[in-house]
Amino acid sequence: MNLVDYHTHTYLCRHAVGEPIDYVKMAVSKNLTEIGVSDHLSFSIPEDSIPLDKLELYVNMVEEAKRLYGDRIRVRLGFEVEYSYDSLDSIARILESIDELDYTLLSIHKMDGWIVNSSRSRDKYMEVDLYRLYEKYFNLVCEAASYRLFQIVAHIDLPKIFGFKPIEDMKPLYEDTAKRLAKAGVCVEVNTSGFRKPVAEVYPAREFLEILRKYNVPITLGSDAHRPEDVAYRFRDAIDMILSVGYKSISVFEGGRRIEIPIF
Ligand SMILES: [Zn+2]
Ligand SMILES: [Zn+2]
């Protein structure tokens, strides 16, 4: 079976532990086909980002892990990039300057000045119209994807993290989002970190994944590990869901180019 983990962090973002090589070793021990290191790059939430003066160190550490373990596993260099329109040019310049880059995850944690996944934001969810909130979030994701700067959408329905879900039928919104993502040519990550959060399910929700499948939006897999032991966290459950909605392959990336590999 081909399993890949395209979403991992390192101590450089200052809220995770471990070096790239620790994640790579863990991925080898769990028999993964590929491991992607994708630490945070964020202008709008600088306290959660790799400091810009550590970018070179980051790239060098991933390259070193590649050199040492490349005969046992394919190691990919990535970033989880926080999308904000204001920082788009700066982000693009940085990404273009890194020759070794394989892929970027597009992620949105901050919207309208508040952090969607911060436990301090729980009260905010009580105040807002949840359907409008999800609609706005998906719109922002589609807007970001349309710039074709990012290969993979990370944790696509993050606003559900604390279990706040609209009572309305979400299907039309999922349909609209899936169509726009298909048009943007972007891949969506099945992210198992939701199992570690109050919502206790993967991103995206099963119904959403079914619709993404319908529009042939490619997928990949990520644990969003912030410590090496979470590499490939509950991938068995994710794979069961992926197969049951009809996907037979997952995507990997080399130098920004998408390659589809069979799950079996
Ligand atoms: Zn994230
Ligand atoms: Zn992450």
| Cα 13 to ligand 1 centroid, rounded to whole Å | 12
| Cα 243 to ligand 2 centroid, rounded to whole Å | 24
| Cα 261 to ligand 1 centroid, rounded to whole Å | 24
Nearest ligand atom owner, CA of 154: 1
Nearest ligand atom owner, CA of 156: 1
Tell me if 25 sits within 8 A of 64, measured CB to CB.
no
| Cα 7 to ligand 1 centroid, rounded to whole Å | 9
In tens, the pLDDT along 242-258 reads 999 999 999 999 999 99
| Cα 257 to ligand 2 centroid, rounded to whole Å | 21
At residue 87 the predicted structure's pLDDT band, cuts being 50, 70 and 90, is very high
Stretch 54-82: mean pLDDT: 98
Residue 57, pLDDT score: 98
In tens, the pLDDT along 216-241 reads 999 999 999 999 999 999 999 999 99
| Cα 104 to ligand 1 centroid, rounded to whole Å | 12
Residue 78, pLDDT score: 98
The pLDDT mean for the chain works out to 97
Taken in order of first residue, the domains within the chain and their CATH numbers are 4-262 (3.20.20.140)
Global pTM value: 0.97
CA separation (Å) from 54 to 109, 231, 239?
A: 22, 23, 35
| Cα 75 to ligand 2 centroid, rounded to whole Å | 17
**252 vs 240: CA distance, rounded Å:** 19
CA separation (Å) from 3 to 8, 34, 90, 157?
A: 14, 7, 33, 22
- What b/e readout covers 33-42, taking b as 16+ CB neighbours within 10 angstroms? ebbbbbbbbb
Decide: helix, strand or coil at residue 74.
strand
At residue 56 the predicted structure's pLDDT band, cuts being 50, 70 and 90, is very high
CB atoms within 10 A of CB 71: 6
| Cα 240 to ligand 1 centroid, rounded to whole Å | 23
Stretch 103-118: mean pLDDT: 96
Residue 232, pLDDT score: 98
| Cα 107 to ligand 1 centroid, rounded to whole Å | 6
Nearest ligand atom owner, CA of 161: 1
At residue 126 the predicted structure's pLDDT band, cuts being 50, 70 and 90, is very high
* Cis status of the peptide bond prior to 204, with omega within 30 of 0: yes
